[in-house]
Chain A
Amino acid sequence: MTDRTTKETFLAAFAERDRRGFADDPPWLREARRAAMERFAELGLPTTRDEEWKYTSLAPLVETPFDLAAEETGEIPAEEALGSSAGSSSWSRLVFVNGRHVGKLSTVRPLPPGGRLGSLAEALITDEEMVRAQLTSVGDKGEGAFGSLNEALWPDGAFVHVPADTSLEAPIQLLFVATPFERPRVDHPRSVIVLERESRAVLVETYIALGPGTYLTNASTEIVLGPGAALDHHKIVLEGGQAFHVGRTRVRQGRDSRFTSCSLGFGGRIIRNDVDVLLAAEGSECTLSGLFVIGGRQHVDTHTVMDHAQPRATSRQLYKGVLDGRARGVFNGRVIVRPGANGTDAHQTNKNLILSDGVEVDSKPQLEIFADDVKCSHGAADGQLAEDAIFYLKSRGLDEVAARTLLTHGFAREVLGRIRVETVRKWCEDLLRGRLRGGRVAEATP
């Protein structure tokens, strides 16, 4: 037991787990875990000296004495405790409590032949070859320290496989629930989502906390879209006020596939969100949107990588932040246009609404263009609520608080309005209303 959490404590925890816990894993997986841990050993935990972590200090995380040996799932909450975060009863839902799949809270609607929807750890037993094919193909792509840690240490997660020419109307929810523990713990959920040719699905990835506590969610979600496939993805981060969330969404898009993703950040002490999209074939389309609403000392860092590797792909990005108190927002949007990726059309926008003098925002577009005949643009704007707009609303009888609240909702709606699943949109609008009190972003709940 140590007071700090460092590279060494993770290495020691892995060595122990490798000896006991992973003994049942197939040899190829144990090998992959060890290789990932070796990468982590080389990288170490990032510091602000790393360009990718320049504006996000992990000092509060390092100073937390995490219990890295914790493996038990803990007490399973009652279904009612999930409340509105559990979405609609018509959905398929996989629930993970402290990183482990809990069948009795999950609901799986029937899938057509060849379809899979369940726990990754279970699929490792029932569909080893399928899992192996996916894990090894999406494996080492230059994962950073946290991605490597997740690859080395994941105990469970979701495995979703949508067969070709299948259209799943009802959303699939992956609901990750953190419950209070005596000592701070770390969870490494890993999910693999595969949509075969010409299939469609809607995915809702939700992270919530039931009760107070410090913990780290280190989540990886890997998405592979076959030719003509379309995925509508949502990620809602509603972690506890003392929690750390470091998450990655890595996407590989096939020919003419469509990936739409909206990520919403409301809860968490430090949230780091990486979205890496590889537009690996011609004609693929990707639309990323994001909104975070933070106050107090919350910190949200979004890093996106849009890799236009092939011609005639289109990408759109819109990320917005509402910041109050002493909150800090970071946006780094990297767009790569590879040689020969002609006809690329890429656009990126980052806008932040700043409600307090104590707020700090760092926004950085990074365009790396190695092809001709491309359309590539970016825009960024940080500002306060417009005084003339506040006066206009007051002149119609609205008081200061009502005017500010209405304008802030207006700012957020550009992103929320893009959510096509009504249950999700309404829930997010409620979350926004809940976070805005008296026209200000309240401190996060513990």
Chain B
Amino acid sequence: MLSIRKLHAGVTGKEILHGIDLEVRAGEVHAVMGPNGSGKSTLAQVLAGHPGYLVTEGEILYEGRNLLEMPPEERAREGIFMAFQYPVEIPGVANAEFLKAAVNAVRDHRGLEELDAMEFLTLLKEKMNLVDMDPAFMSRSLNEGFSGGEKKRNEILQMALLEPKLAVLDETDSGLDIDALRTVAAGINRLRRPDNAMILVTHYQRVLSYVTPDRVHVLSNGRIVKSGDHTLARELEARGYEWLEATAEALPR
């Protein structure tokens, strides 16, 4: 589904990713872990197409297509979804209004008829149950004044509504109390299917106690320094990132 090959990327004047290789197949959940500043969020932003990040080398193929040539909205319509680490607050735009616009933009692209108000509400109710979200949030402005946990639930709700093929969750577990973390993790598990894939970008192992990944990759200084199965996450939790950073130093640039 996704092939990242020798990816070098960063912001203007500063390379952050120094050659990433990653293969993600349908049905798989990958965890990308690493300390702060290792390049995890940069990888997520590059996949979503954030205009502030530049790819200087390498390629990304998504279902055989050159992802880097697709603008962010086309990526979304083609089934890529990023759950933001810091979802943007948008005053004056009701959550439900935004969600309906997003769902219909994606449906339109897929050749499906747009949902009318009633059909959308039915779908919305069903998906809100999934993330245990209070309906009062639908008439409120998008993310405005939402707590950290409410914002993350709202991201998972969007994911549930848009039914992506490839979801990239950027630190969706950070800043959540244990109840919110369980709800969010349960939402992720219920959205896991044989025909879609997920990349969980996370600093901590704790979300991985609820969502078992197929593969775990450790990112350090812009490279994947170690990959393994879900037991690698536990090992990291026990030993910290330091033991791997030494390995990263030794790699050729």
Cβ of A407 and Cβ of B93 under 8 Å apart?
Answer: yes
Asked if B93 and A402 sit within 8 Å, CB to CB, the answer is no
The answer to whether the Cβ of A393 comes within 8 Å of any Cβ in the partner chain is yes
Interface residues of A in 389-413 (CB under 8 A from B): 389, 391-400, 402, 406-407, 409-413
B72 touches A394 (CB 8 A): yes
Interface residue from A386, A397, A410 paired with B93 (Cβ < 8 Å): A410
Pair B98/A395 contact, Cβ less than 8 Å? no
Of A388, A398, A411, the residue contacting B102 (CB under 8 A) is: A398
Q: Which chain A residue shows the least CB distance to B72?
A: A394
Closest to B99 in A: A396
Partner-binding segment picked from B35-43, B45-53, B235-243: B45-53
User: With a CB–CB cut-off of 8 A, which chain B residues contact A71?
Assistant: none
CB of A42 within 8 A of chain B? no
Contacts of A409 in B (CB 8 A): 92-93
User: A406-B93, A406-B101, A409-B93 are known contacts. Are A397 and B162 too (CB-CB below 8 A)?
Assistant: yes
Interface residue B132 (Cβ < 8 Å from any Cβ of A): no
Q: Nearest-CB distance from B94 to chain A (Å)?
A: 9
A397 with B48, Cβ < 8 A, contacts A392-B88, A407-B90, A409-B93 known: no
Flag whether A75 is at the interface (Cβ < 8 A): no
Task: Say yes or no: A388 contacts B88, CB within 8 Å.
Answer: yes
Assembly CA distance A410 to B94 (angstroms): 8
Find the A residue at minimum CB distance from B86: A388
Q: Give Cα A395–Cα B75 distance, bound, in whole angstroms.
A: 8
User: Closest residue to A396 on the B side, CB-wise?
Assistant: B102
- Contact code string A243-254 (vs B, CB < 8 Å = 1, else 0): 000000000000
A141 CB, min distance to chain B CBs, angstroms: 37
Residues of B within 8 A of A407 (CB): 90, 93
Chain B CB within 8 A of A414 CB: yes
Number of A-B residue pairs with CB-CB distance less than 8 Å in the complex they form: 74
| Residue-wise interface mask of A (147-158) relative to B, using a CB-CB cutoff of 8 A (1 in contact, 0 not) | 000000000000
Q: Is the CB of A394 within 8 A of B92?
A: no
Chain B residue total in the interface (Cβ 8 A): 29
Least CB separation from B48: chain A residue: A395
Known: A387-B51, A392-B87. A410 touches B73 (CB 8 A): no
Complex contacts, A410 vs chain B, CB 8 Å: 90-93, 141
CA distance A391 to B84 in the complex (A): 11
Contact: B92 with A397, CB < 8 Å? no
Q: Which of B81, B88, B97 contacts A389 (CB under 8 A)?
A: B88
Contact of B90 with A392 in the complex, beta carbons under 8 Å: yes
Q: Name A397's contact: one of B88, B97, B102 (CB within 8 Å).
A: B102
Interchain nearest-CB distance for B53 vs A (Å)? 11
Do residues A398 and B93 form an inter-chain contact, with CB atoms below 8 A? no
Residues on A with beta carbons closer than 8 Å to the beta carbon of B72: 391, 394-395
In the complex, the answer to whether B51 meets A406 with C-beta atoms within 8 Å is: no
| B residues less than 8 Å from A396 (CB atoms) | 76, 98, 101-102, 105, 158, 162
Give complex CA distance A399, B49 in Å.
13
Question: In whole Å, how far is A234's beta carbon from the nearest beta carbon of chain B?
Answer: 19
Q: What B residues does A417 contact at CB under 8 A?
A: 92
Q: Are B90 and A402 in contact (CB under 8 A)?
A: no
Tell whether, in the assembled complex, residue B76 and residue A394 are in contact, meaning their CB atoms are under 8 Å apart. Answer: yes
Q: Which residue, of B92, B105, B162, has the highest number of chain A Cβ atoms within 10 A?
A: B92
Q: Is residue B130 contacting chain A, with contact meaning CB distance below 8 A? A: no
List residues of B (26-85) whose CB comes within 8 Å of A's CBs: 48-51, 71-73, 75-77, 81-82, 84
Contacts of B73 in A (CB 8 A): 394-395, 397-400
- Do A397 and B90 touch across chains, with their CB atoms under 8 A apart? no
**Closest CB in chain A relative to B161 CB, distance in Å:** 9
- Please, which residue of chain B has its CB at the minimum distance from the CB of A388? B88
A411 close to B87 (CB less than 8 A): no
The reply to whether B50 and A399 contact each other, CB–CB distance below 8 Å, is: no
In the docked arrangement, what's the CA distance between A414 and B162, Å?
28
Set of chain A residues within 8 Å of B88, measured between Cβ atoms: 386, 388-389, 392
The reply to whether B76 and A413 form a contact with Cβ atoms under 8 Å apart is no
Residues of B within 8 A of A395 (CB): 48-49, 72-73, 75-76, 81-82, 84
Q: Does B125 contact A (CB under 8 A)?
A: no
Flag if A397 contacts B98 (CB, 8 Å): no
Q: How far is the CA of A399 from the CA of B76 in the complex (A)?
A: 10
Find out whether the CB atom of B91 lies under 8 angstroms from the CB atom of A414.
Answer: yes
Of listed B51, B71, B90, B141, residue having the most chain A CB within 10 A: B90
Q: What B residues does A398 contact at CB under 8 A?
A: 73, 101-102, 105
On chain A, the residues within 8 Å of B77 by CB distance are 397
**CB neighbours of B158 from chain A (8 A):** 396
- B17 CB, min distance to chain A CBs, angstroms: 19
Provide the residues of chain A in CB contact with B102, threshold 8 Å: 393, 396-398
User: For B48, B72, B91, B141, which residue has the most chain A Cβ atoms within 10 angstroms?
Assistant: B72
Which residues of chain A are within 8 angstroms of B93 by Cβ–Cβ distance? 406-407, 409-410, 413
Chain B residue numbers with a CB within 8 Å of A386 are: 88
**Chain B positions within 8 Å of A388 at CB level:** 88
CA of A393 to CA of B87, assembled, Å: 10
Q: Which residue of B lies closest to A416 (CB)?
A: B92
C-alpha gap A414/B94 in the complex (Å):
12
B106 adjacent to chain A (CB < 8 Å): yes
Chain A residues with Cβ under 8 A from B226's Cβ? none
Q: Which residues of A contact B48 (CB under 8 A)?
A: 395
Considering the complex, give the chain A residue whose CB is closest to the CB of B144. Answer: A410
B109 lies within 8 A of chain A by Cβ: yes
Task: Give CA–CA (A413, B82) in the complex, Å.
Answer: 28
Kindly state the separation between the CA atoms of A192 and B164 in the bound complex, as whole angstroms: 61
Chain B contacts of A411 at CB under 8 A? 91-92
Which residue on chain B has the smallest CB distance to residue A400? B73
Nearest A residue to B73 via CB reads A394
Given A400-B73, A402-B101: 18 more A-B contacts, CB < 8 Å? A386-B88, A389-B90, A391-B72, A393-B98, A393-B102, A395-B81, A396-B105, A396-B162, A397-B73, A397-B77, A397-B106, A398-B73, A406-B97, A406-B101, A407-B93, A409-B92, A410-B92, A414-B91
Interface positions of B (Cβ within 8 A of A): 48-51, 71-73, 75-77, 81-82, 84, 87-88, 90-93, 97-98, 101-102, 105-106, 109, 141, 158, 162
A-B contact pairs, 18 of them (CB 8 A): A386-B88, A392-B88, A392-B90, A393-B98, A393-B102, A394-B73, A395-B81, A395-B84, A396-B98, A396-B102, A396-B105, A398-B102, A399-B105, A402-B105, A406-B101, A407-B90, A410-B92, A411-B91
